Amino acid sequence: MLRRVLALCGVLLSALFCGSSGANGGPWNAPYPLSDRGRSVLFSTFQTSPRHLDPVSSYSENEAIFTGQIYEPPLQYHYLKRPYALVPLTLQAMPEVDYRDATGRRLEEPVTEQAVASVIYRLRLRPGIRYAPHPALARDRAGRYRYHALTKNEIAEADTLAGFSATGTRELVAADYVHQIKRLAHPDLHSPILGFMERYIEGLDALARTLREERSHSTDPLDLRAFPLVGARVIDRYTFEIVLKERYPQFLYWLAMPFFAPVPWEADSFYGQPGMADRNLNLDWHPLGTGPYMLAENNPNRRMVLVRNPEFRGENYPSLEAQTTKRGPAPPSAEPRLPRIDEIHFMLEKEEIPEWNKFLQGYYDTSPIAPDGFEQAIRFDAQGKPEITPEMRAKGIRLSVATRMSISYVGFNMLDPVVGGRGRRARLLRQALAIAVDTEELISIFGNGRGVPAQGPLPPGIFGHRTGESGINPVVYRWQDGRALRRPLEEAQMLLAEAGYPDGIDPATGKSLVLHLDATSSGPDTKALFGWYRKQFARLGIDLVVRSTDYNRFQEKVQQGEAQIFTWGWNADYPDPENFLFLLYGPHGKTRHLGENAANYANPGFDALFHRMRTLPNGPARQKVIDEMVSLVRLDSPWLWGFHPQAYALEHAWMDAAEPNLMARNTLKYRQIDPSLRVKLQARWNEPVRAVVWGVAIGVLVLMAVVVWRVRQRARAVAP
Amino acid sequence: MPGLIPAFASVATEPMGLQLLPTDLLFLGALALAAVYGHSAAREPLARARWSRVLHSPGGGIACLVLSVYLAVAVLDSVRVERAEQAPLTVLDLVLTPLRTGMETTYSAPFATHAHARENLEHAPGLWVRDYPRLKFGGRHLALPEETARDLVRRIALGTALGFGVFVVLTLVINQLRGRSLRGAITQWWEPAWRWHWSALGVLCLGITIVGCLADGWHVLGTDKVGQDVLYLSLKSVRTGLVLAVLASLITLPIALVLGVLAGYRGGWVDDVIQYLYTTLSSIPGVLLIAAAALSLDLFLSREAGALHSLALRADLRLLALCAVLGLTGWTSLCRLLRAETMKLSTIEFVASARALGSPSAALLRRHLLPNLMPLVIITTVLDFSSLVLAEAVLTYIDIGVDPSTESWGNLINGARLELAREPVIWWSLASALGGMFGLVLAANVFADTVRDAFDPRLGPDAKGVQGRA
Amino acid sequence: MTAWFVRRLGYFLPILLGVNLLTFALFFVVNSPDDMARRHLGERHVSPAAVSDWKRAHGYDRPAFLNPAQNGLAMVTDTLFFAGSSRLFSFNFGRSDGGRHIGWDIRQRIWPSLAIALPVLILELLIAVPLGLAVALLRGSAFDRGLTLLCVAAMAISSLFFIIAGQFLFARMLRLMPISGFAEGWDALRFLLLPVVVQVLAGLGARVRWNRTVFLEETSREYVRTARAKGLSEARVLFRHVLPNAALPLITTIVVTLPGLFLGSLITESFFAIPGLGSYTIDAIQNQDFAIVRTMVFLGSLLYILGLLLTDLAYAWADPRIRLGGN
């Protein structure tokens, strides 16, 4: 019997290896079907499954990479212009703005803030924009919607969206944008910005109340067309207006986000039919937009596939007018129509190591640099500027570096009796810590140098940020030999002694001062990171206790003001200083006002300046106000300013060279690849080591033979 | 080892006070229990004979030696000494002071004189160069890095000499304790029955002294991301692994034994209730149960944050909770096996007949059932013991294991896992953690095998005969 | 027999109820519905009204166990616990807190899980049982000692190491298979090979050793000695007598792995990016998606109970002396 088993194993093994080595000659380790490699397909990755692709509720980075290609809000960021600038996307021109006083009278520039009672934005669409084909828009010959009155059986029969064989399209009209703005107030859709927008859009709060009321009476789908919204109205087929309750110049940036992308009422009517949701048939999983791509396959467990939208109106590759920045590359002359790539395949990659290795093998076209691949990919020249290593350059890999519009910082809870408040003692303590915690070392150890030490709340690239000597934080740095130098530890120790903690000893207890750092623990690096923070505080003789909790608890603690010192970060919603400075605006205090000011910093002087800064146009006047604000918070040090992370991205030779645009989310339509070069290089880099396979197979067979031989020998022996 | 002497001196001069954390107390308590058992077993002839068989066999003896080295490290690391104005340190920390304080900035390879990653260095005023910086501790006694090899040879030679000396002294002392004369000790110590034991002892002595001599001036196993010595971290991890396994087994054993035997022997509604208990518990995926328990404890800790100022205490309570959770969820499989085995045994003729004859249950259990269940219990316990040590790494991977500030093999592996993608590969943390775990689990398994051979009533003379024949 | 069966079936309900109660209690000690709402709504600009909307939409606005606002039976039925549990018992798993239909997702993800778990189980049995028999036959020989040592050594290696080393060596250095990922159809073979081999290797040591113990234990019993005394060859003794008797403990260990078969291997799936139920569960734990976690726990316990039934039936079938009728 053993022999039979052995023979079977042998046959199976050899069949497997013969089969695999005979298979179509390509590399063995391709993480996707080999046939896809030669086509115009971009291979990219996503780390977490998107939860919402409905533009009304999607707010996270990992969803934006899909929604950005599918939906078209009225505005977009210019692909090449720096600093970032908004340009029309579906509009004929930038929105016209009207300021009205309480009587509805139009105000002429310059307007004073007090006089403004409402602001009207008028948006004019470009005609001829069409939706991607979708069953919700399919009509029969009589012009009636085919799939808007389905029975449960019919839905069950179709089962997936592909089960509805007919599709249709129609032109984008102004009513679709208004419909989407109303959807922000829909009680079942939980738009994350409803609470925020209620403050600005006229009548949105009232609509939300009405809809909530309506929802409590019945569970039928709500038809939003029956509920008017004062703050968003259709003027004609291609024109609509948005009315704001107060002046909010940053509103334009919101018009470049998917929250304000059009959704046809047909989609809600189609997906609202009973039985649809049970099959995951809804806008969250099967979006419908006017963008250059449409979602063809949605398998959040494995891959997401975007394909070219056949109804896309076409768009030209943008160009820079001569007088603007020279930084962008010249637009390629050939094939200026967008999108340029046929399909984009996003593969799920939760772990960094496999993703990095697959990039090196040539299976992904672009990659962020895994922290652990850093030494392998990047080295710094004598000036400390990053450049790519020779072996990477030999593969044709290119590096692009851009500082993110974000800040990663350590906040002090200003409500805390020890570290908080604007009293002298606590301020000195915070300043001492700001010097002692060596951000440069943090960036170098934990970020491989991928970060810029923050001199205040504003990252580079945002209006108001200053470089050079005038840009340094004088509390922590001094300017010497043309560079910012961190003040020596002795100064921190002096400040600490002045604060009443000589050598870190708390006079109240006679022991080391004990401080608490709250943080979420995630992944293996956190232990090292916490150890590093303890080491930094210990340099001042302060005993830092790290309280690591899960994400929820951490959020709750910061929210309730129970945290003392905490790690936090902010990603820009839009490239305006307001989006960073409001993080320190008193009335946005997290604990008291549920705002985004996590440190609960409150300084009346700062708040007054903030009011002025908000509505000022970018220019010297605004710069002056911002300088004042920044120097106020530097002195108070409510944050250890931390750093602005830098995004290093690598791209293979077969990708077109492009400057990264960190604000725009709809950039994939501009990219181009050369699939034949990809096929060639992949084959060269992934030659399997076949000899090992045969070695292992032979080894296993020999081992089995020996076992069988020994067993048979033994089995013949008869017990005495 | 000149560095160690001031460390000892500092222990002696500082005001001493012991501060034991909950797991320290329980762990030392568990060892005390084992010692009490050992004392009583030494007096009972049958148990004494069995245990001496374990110790006499080469595998059992060597495993015992290795285990006792691990245990010694764990015990040293479980006795905490209070210090004025500073966090308490364990005796092991004090012994390893040069390693503990000899920190670098980041990674460095074993026996390296320079860091693993380049930094911006100011060679001359204003001249910045990107290069590998010299280490602050590793090889700092050398004027030139080229002298490394000579220094290592010198230290190994010193370590060998020291180790040899220690070994000779130990041999003499042990022979003295066994009542041999000096002459007998010299002429008879290399007797065949003990050869393996003596060799193992010699290797251990040499290993410890050589590593000790090297570690005094070098990072023998390199340093980790924040520049801590990996040898120090590995030694600190021993305690976490042992405490986890010992305490979890301590909780598992009595529950599984009592409930399993009760269910299998009594049957009826008792069986139903016990089955209900363990089915309910074991049908919840263990990971989820552990995750939920770990999270609830965290909630508790953050509520009681005021009372738990010490980081060490927080980490320790988390370890304790993990032991409790692993113990309370881990008894079900052993219990099920025991129940099945008991059911089978109680239908076997001699038990059934003894039962029919009215033999009291207690006697029946003690005489017939328990001895037959022992091998199953021992084997399963030791298998679980090893898997508990191993489980720690896996749980830490999904972030529900020990506290990130606790030195443990899991944390070490988890940190090192990410480094394999580097080029050149950082292998030393991974290798040290795996090596440390490997040694412990291997010793525990070999030990269990010999215990099983000695204790299993069914592997009596006949089984020996079979083995002898082969 | 019938009485026994009925009693067994009677376990179903209380066990599942107990499991549900325990999951529910454990999860809600940790997570308040407010937490969950905040987590699912995102970090920014979340108003209390949005939180209460979310809670109402997902049914978390009701009290946990007793609803004082209702009268009579509704006091118990109009609660979070009852509503959640009763749906599960009718296999209507509803929607996850993230909004997806759980039943649909499970139907999608069960196949990749099975595609890994089944080959692993079969391969392990195919290798471990013959090896166990072989070492039991050759006990005491150098082969036995060597293999046992190898098993013990393999058991002392963390499974994480097998995965990490496997990916490093086979996928990266030798370029024989993809590092991770999954595909449909026959192409899946390339992706499954490494995880299956790694998982078999990681489990093999323990299983061979366990089999050896079981076989050795059986060979030391009376009937084996009798058989040997009758002059039967060792092979005959092993195959005819020892193997059937040793089947019981073997079956027990297999049945214990049954839920794992369907629920997938948590670590392997998440390392190799297999879109199975194991990675589904891990994600749900990490995202604290209670609806999914509760469903997976429910299914797990259901499979456990089925496995238990199977074990007892197998015991009765393999060994008629076992009393199914109770006392």
The interface predicted TM-score of the complex, written ipTM, equals: 0.78
Checking if the pLDDT of B468 tops 50, the result is no
Least Cα distance to B21 among B79, B76, B83, B73 occurs for B79
Give the DSSP letter of residue B349: H
Provide the angle, in degrees to the nearest 10, between the axes of the packed helices C102-137 and C188-219: 40
State the pLDDT confidence band at A429, using cuts at 50, 70 and 90.
very high
- Computed from CA positions of residues A545, A546, A548, A554, in that sequence, does the dihedral angle turn out positive or negative? positive
CA distances from B64 to A77, A131, B70, B363, B445 (A): 70, 75, 10, 33, 11
Q: Which of B126, B314, B422 sits opposite A481 (nearest CB)?
A: B126
A residues 555..584 contacting B (CB < 8 A): 557, 562
Spell out the domains of chain B, with CATH numbers in brackets.
230-464 (1.10.3720.10)
Best A527, A548, A552 member to test B by mutation, with max B CBs in 10 Å, is: A527
State the pLDDT confidence band at A78, using cuts at 50, 70 and 90.
very high
C5-44 pLDDT per residue, tens: 777 777 677 888 888 888 777 777 666 777 777 666 665 5
More confident residue, B123 or A426: A426
Residue pair B407/B433 in contact (Cβ under 8 Å)? The answer is no
**What pLDDT, on the 0 to 100 scale, is given for residue C168?**
81
Checking if the pLDDT of A64 tops 80, the result is yes
B199-256 pLDDT per residue, tens: 888 999 999 999 988 888 888 888 887 788 899 999 999 999 999 989 998 889 889 9
Residue pair B304/C36 in contact (Cβ under 8 Å)? The answer is no
Contact across the interface for B267 and C326, Cβ inside 8 Å: yes
**What pLDDT, on the 0 to 100 scale, is given for residue C322?**
57
Best C151, C161, C215 member to test B by mutation, with max B CBs in 10 Å, is: C161
A521-559 pLDDT per residue, tens: 665 567 778 888 988 999 899 988 888 776 767 877 888
Tell me the chain C residues in contact with residue A719 when contact means C-beta distances shorter than 8 Å.
228-229, 231-234, 237
CATH architecture type of domain A46-316:
3-Layer(aba) Sandwich (3.40)
**Lowest mean pLDDT segment, chosen from A417-421, A634-638, B408-412:** B408-412
State the pLDDT confidence band at A419, using cuts at 50, 70 and 90.
very high
Interface check for A502 against chain B (CB to CB < 8 A): the answer is no
Within 13 Å of residue A7, how many CA atoms lie on the same side as its CB? 4
State the pLDDT confidence band at A565, using cuts at 50, 70 and 90.
very high
Give the DSSP letter of residue A235: E
Residue at token pair 């990603």:
A571
State the pLDDT confidence band at A14, using cuts at 50, 70 and 90.
low
Domain boundaries, chain A: 46-316, 406-511+550-647
Tabulate helix, strand, coil % of chain B (nearest 5).
70, 5, 25
Contact across the interface for C275 and A348, Cβ inside 8 Å: yes
More confident residue, A588 or C81: A588
Q: Are domains A46-316 and A406-511+550-647 of this chain identical in fold?
A: no
Token representation of residue A17: 């290896």
Checking if the pLDDT of A332 tops 60, the result is no
Contact across the interface for C280 and A301, Cβ inside 8 Å: yes
Parts of chain C with a pLDDT under 50: 325-327
C222-235 pLDDT per residue, tens: 777 788 778 777 77
Tell me the chain C residues in contact with residue A4 when contact means C-beta distances shorter than 8 Å.
none
Among B66-80, B84-98, B258-272, the range with the most confident prediction by mean pLDDT is B66-80
Which residues neighbour A672 within 8 Å (Cβ) at sequence distance 6 or greater? Answer: A332, A335, A340, A341, A655, A656
Q: Is A40 helix (H, G, I), strand (E, B) or coil?
A: coil
Among A468-472, A526-530, A656-660, the range with the most confident prediction by mean pLDDT is A468-472
Average pLDDT over residues A606-613: 93
Tell me the chain B residues in contact with residue C280 when contact means C-beta distances shorter than 8 Å.
none
Checking if the pLDDT of A344 tops 80, the result is yes
Contact across the interface for A379 and B118, Cβ inside 8 Å: yes
Rg (CA), chain C: 25
Which helix H or strand E contains A547, and what residues bound it? Answer: strand A543-549
Contact across the interface for B421 and A357, Cβ inside 8 Å: yes
Tell me the chain B residues in contact with residue A444 when contact means C-beta distances shorter than 8 Å.
119
Contact across the interface for C167 and A348, Cβ inside 8 Å: no
Q: Which of C171, C271, C280 sits opposite A29 (nearest CB)?
A: C171
- Return phi, psi of residue B301, to 5°: -65, -40
Residue at token pair 């010497």:
A480
Interface check for A546 against chain B (CB to CB < 8 A): the answer is yes
Q: What subunits make at least 3 CB pairs under 8 angstroms with A?
A: B, C
Tell me the chain B residues in contact with residue C208 when contact means C-beta distances shorter than 8 Å.
none
Contact across the interface for C273 and A689, Cβ inside 8 Å: no
Q: Is A317 helix (H, G, I), strand (E, B) or coil?
A: coil
**What pLDDT, on the 0 to 100 scale, is given for residue A355?**
86
Average pLDDT over residues A629-654: 92
Q: What angle do CA A185, A188, A194 make, to 5 degrees?
A: 30
Contact across the interface for A528 and B225, Cβ inside 8 Å: yes
Contact across the interface for C101 and A187, Cβ inside 8 Å: no
List beta partners, residue A100.
A106, A118
List beta partners, residue C233.
A718
State the pLDDT confidence band at A372, using cuts at 50, 70 and 90.
low
Tell me the chain B residues in contact with residue A370 when contact means C-beta distances shorter than 8 Å.
421
Contact across the interface for C157 and B438, Cβ inside 8 Å: yes
State the pLDDT confidence band at A629, using cuts at 50, 70 and 90.
very high
Closest approach of chain B CAs to the CA of C307, in angstroms?
Answer: 10
Tell me the chain C residues in contact with residue B289 when contact means C-beta distances shorter than 8 Å.
26
Tell me the chain C residues in contact with residue B446 when contact means C-beta distances shorter than 8 Å.
152
Tell me the chain C residues in contact with residue B462 when contact means C-beta distances shorter than 8 Å.
220, 225
Residue pair B121/B131 in contact (Cβ under 8 Å)? The answer is yes
**What pLDDT, on the 0 to 100 scale, is given for residue A286?**
92
Interface check for A715 against chain B (CB to CB < 8 A): the answer is no
Residue pair B224/B107 in contact (Cβ under 8 Å)? The answer is yes
Checking if the pLDDT of A589 tops 80, the result is yes
Pick the residue from chain B with its C-alpha nearest to C143. B470
Least Cα distance to C246 among C129, C121, C141, C118 occurs for C129
**Lowest mean pLDDT segment, chosen from A349-353, A374-378, B165-169, B411-415:** A374-378
Spell out the domains of chain C, with CATH numbers in brackets.
2-89 (no CATH), 110-286 (1.10.3720.10)
Tell me the chain A residues in contact with residue B295 when contact means C-beta distances shorter than 8 Å.
550
Q: What subunits make at least 3 CB pairs under 8 angstroms with C?
A: A, B
Tell me the chain C residues in contact with residue A301 when contact means C-beta distances shorter than 8 Å.
105, 108-109, 275, 279-280
Q: What subunits make at least 3 CB pairs under 8 angstroms with B?
A: A, C
C residues 241..260 contacting B (CB < 8 A): 248-249, 252, 256, 259
**Lowest mean pLDDT segment, chosen from A659-663, B64-68, B353-357:** B353-357
CA distance A316 to A336: 5
Closest approach of chain A CAs to the CA of B213, in angstroms?
Answer: 28
Q: Which of A191, A357, A689 sits opposite C176 (nearest CB)?
A: A689
Average pLDDT over residues A590-599: 85
Q: Is A671 helix (H, G, I), strand (E, B) or coil?
A: coil
Residue pair A279/A155 in contact (Cβ under 8 Å)? The answer is yes
C residues 80..109 contacting B (CB < 8 A): none
How, if at all, do strands A239-244 and A232-236 pair?
Answer: antiparallel
Among A261-270, A362-371, C70-79, the range with the most confident prediction by mean pLDDT is A261-270
State the pLDDT confidence band at B125, using cuts at 50, 70 and 90.
low
CA distance A288 to A267: 8
CA distance A263 to A282: 13
Which residues neighbour A113 within 8 Å (Cβ) at sequence distance 6 or greater? Answer: A247, A611, A615
Contact across the interface for C160 and B417, Cβ inside 8 Å: yes
**What pLDDT, on the 0 to 100 scale, is given for residue B209?**
92
**What pLDDT, on the 0 to 100 scale, is given for residue A599?**
92
Tell me the chain C residues in contact with residue B397 when contact means C-beta distances shorter than 8 Å.
160, 267
Checking if the pLDDT of A230 tops 70, the result is yes
Q: What angle do CA A572, A574, A577 make, to 5 degrees?
A: 80
Closest approach of chain A CAs to the CA of C11, in angstroms?
Answer: 31
Interface check for B105 against chain A (CB to CB < 8 A): the answer is yes
B255-267 pLDDT per residue, tens: 998 999 888 888 8
Q: Is C222 helix (H, G, I), strand (E, B) or coil?
A: helix
Checking if the pLDDT of B70 tops 70, the result is yes
Residue type, A289: G
CA distances from C203 to B83, B450, C17 (A): 47, 23, 33
Tell whether omega for the bond before A110 is within 30 degrees of 0, i.e. cis: yes
CA distances from B441 to A539, A597, B336, B407, C153 (A): 40, 51, 24, 18, 8
Residue pair A134/A283 in contact (Cβ under 8 Å)? The answer is no
Interface check for B83 against chain A (CB to CB < 8 A): the answer is no
How many percent of chain A have pLDDT more than 70? 91
Q: Which of C23, C160, C315 sits opposite B397 (nearest CB)?
A: C160
**What pLDDT, on the 0 to 100 scale, is given for residue B86?**
64
CATH architecture type of domain A406-511+550-647:
Roll (3.10)
Within 13 Å of residue B232, how many CA atoms lie on the same side as its CB? 24
B residues 298..337 contacting C (CB < 8 A): 299, 333, 336-337
Q: Which of A372, A379, A535 sits opposite B421 (nearest CB)?
A: A372
Interface check for B119 against chain A (CB to CB < 8 A): the answer is yes
CA distance B106 to B233: 14
Checking if the pLDDT of B188 tops 70, the result is no
CA distance C29 to C16: 20
Interface check for B467 against chain A (CB to CB < 8 A): the answer is no
CA distance A477 to A467: 13
Q: Is C49 helix (H, G, I), strand (E, B) or coil?
A: helix
Residue pair B396/B414 in contact (Cβ under 8 Å)? The answer is yes
- Return phi, psi of residue A172, to 5°: -75, 130
**What pLDDT, on the 0 to 100 scale, is given for residue C323?**
54
Among A456-460, A706-710, B221-225, the range with the most confident prediction by mean pLDDT is A456-460
Q: How remote is the C-alpha of A652 from its chain's centroid?
A: 22
Average pLDDT over residues B166-192: 77
**What pLDDT, on the 0 to 100 scale, is given for residue A15?**
59
- Provide the whole-model pTM: 0.80
CA distance A679 to A681: 6
**What pLDDT, on the 0 to 100 scale, is given for residue A269?**
92
Among B64-73, B419-428, B451-460, the range with the most confident prediction by mean pLDDT is B64-73
Interface check for A425 against chain C (CB to CB < 8 A): the answer is no
Least Cα distance to A343 among A379, A368, A309, A306 occurs for A306
A133-183 pLDDT per residue, tens: 999 999 998 889 999 988 888 888 888 888 898 999 999 999 999 999 999
How many percent of chain A have pLDDT more than 90? 42
More confident residue, A637 or B217: A637
Which residues neighbour B197 within 8 Å (Cβ) at sequence distance 6 or greater? Answer: B58, B61, B62, B65
Q: What integer best gives the mean pLDDT of chain B? A: 78
Interface check for A581 against chain C (CB to CB < 8 A): the answer is no
Which helix H or strand E contains A640, and what residues bound it? Answer: strand A639-651
Average pLDDT over residues B345-361: 72
CA distance A714 to A708: 10
- Return phi, psi of residue C111, to 5°: -70, -50
Closest approach of chain C CAs to the CA of A229, in angstroms?
Answer: 19
Closest approach of chain B CAs to the CA of C52, in angstroms?
Answer: 23
